[in-house]
Chains A and B, each alone.
Chain A
């Protein structure tokens, strides 16, 4: 299990990946937004996306876990 943490404080703009689906290395899981900037959170290694812990529009802090992959 790998926990994916948010690199920034901001909010969740769009969730692109689907839970329970296979995911490839480098694929964008979700897009965060902060200070007028979009930050893509990418999958560090291929596997299965087990869980997404946030919803679109949620405010998040740096280092919050946003997703879990297996």
Chain B
């Protein structure tokens, strides 16, 4: 077992990792920026080290300072969480070189799967369908000819991308040059790599993903799917597992594709294989996220598996104690992301939490990083907490979510509780009959 883990993150995910580490008797080291000095995480961790100023590049994105913090505290492993440095292969590589156990896949795997054009190629070579599209585009003329061949609408994506950043949809040919430029600029700014490719934009798609765990001996376990179609700006807001849209056949097909990919690339630790699924349930590989996913708790709720515990065990060299054939799951889990943002236009709303009271109850789990009086900083993600519920069936889970949302009290910053309340009251969500256009349709129904 690992002796001590430096958690290279903040907020709810850092506290989530801390809980599993502590249960396993592993010492925890938190890092913090000036803004987070008084956070719950800093108090809870065995040790805490300041790494810099509030801006991410001075703290949570600063590889040198984080590695120095690990060295100074004698931490033997690093858990990157999600976001920040989690998918920067350079960070994993530095940890490897410094003799720190990186809790995630090998830096080579992060690097190759971080190249979305390359990961598409790997999937395609295994016979796993990918959305029709180009390779890396050399310029606007090549983009134009691909768009003509694919037929509009198409969507530009950053090769180094993730999290929906840099995606630009094109519906009219005259919009294409500007969209190409926007996508290229955003990719360059966000990822330091401005290569983009273009894909056919699928109508009414579902965004469905498969959680995987894999160990160094080549054992792979895949989990039942997560439905992540409720998105704003290509970022998820509500997720559920299983998916109301999935059939047994689709589930088996996606899990098999995820398993084959994981084996092919020598994947280790936790990861997520993302797919888009069209209205006829044709599935296309999108990308592999080489890290723990924000929405991992819904998988934990339907399987009673602690994914972070397995991450730690795999990183410490233990073989997977879990076999896919033995994996039992049941009931229904739903997650709502509680964001500090305006419920109407989704604009971010940093500020100070005047009051903050979470709902409690059987089958209700809240992963959060804040308490009343805390500052929700403009420099970080607007995620305040994740509200996760479990019930025997979907109807029960929706009802429990509605009840829990009603008992959530947040003042001082704008938040999306009223949006979530509307969403769960809608016929689309209640019936489970929705796709990635859910939010647009909901707004349309409301405003006519």
Residue ranges of A at the interface with B (Cβ–Cβ < 8 Å): 7-11, 34-37, 39, 59, 62
List 5 A–B pairs whose Cβ atoms lie within 8 Å, in order of A's numbering: A7-B345, A10-B350, A10-B378, A35-B379, A37-B233
In the assembly, what is the distance between CA of A34 and CA of B382, in Å? 9
If A8-B348, A37-B233, A37-B348 are given as contacts, then 8 extra A-B residue pairs at C-beta distance below 8 Å, sorted by A number, are A8-B347, A9-B349, A34-B348, A35-B350, A36-B380, A36-B382, A37-B347, A62-B349
Residue of A11, A34, A39 contacting most chain B CB atoms (<10 Å): A34
Shortest Cβ distance from B351 into chain A, in angstroms? 7
In the assembly, what is the distance between CA of A9 and CA of B378, in Å? 7
Shortest Cβ distance from A15 into chain B, in angstroms? 16
Shortest Cβ distance from A13 into chain B, in angstroms? 9
- Chain B residues near A11 (CB-CB < 8 A): 378
- Chain A residues near B378 (CB-CB < 8 A): 9-11, 34-35, 59
A34: which of B233, B345, B350 is its contact (CB, 8 Å)? B350
In the assembly, what is the distance between CA of A62 and CA of B347, in Å? 11
Query: CB-defined interface of B408-435 with A at 8 Å, one 1/0 digit per residue?
Result: 0000000000000000000000000000
Check A35 against B351 for contact (C-beta < 8 Å): no
Residue ranges of B at the interface with A (Cβ–Cβ < 8 Å): 233, 340-341, 345, 347-351, 378-382
- Chain B residues near A10 (CB-CB < 8 A): 348, 350, 378
Shortest Cβ distance from B227 into chain A, in angstroms? 24
Shortest Cβ distance from B337 into chain A, in angstroms? 13
Residue of B nearest to A33 (CB): B378
In the assembly, what is the distance between CA of A39 and CA of B233, in Å? 12
Residue of A nearest to B341 (CB): A35
In the assembly, what is the distance between CA of A37 and CA of B378, in Å? 10
Residue of B nearest to A7 (CB): B347
Shortest Cβ distance from A17 into chain B, in angstroms? 17
Check A36 against B381 for contact (C-beta < 8 Å): yes
- Chain A residues near B341 (CB-CB < 8 A): 35
Shortest Cβ distance from A5 into chain B, in angstroms? 13
In the assembly, what is the distance between CA of A7 and CA of B350, in Å? 12
Shortest Cβ distance from A31 into chain B, in angstroms? 11
- Chain B residues near A7 (CB-CB < 8 A): 345, 347
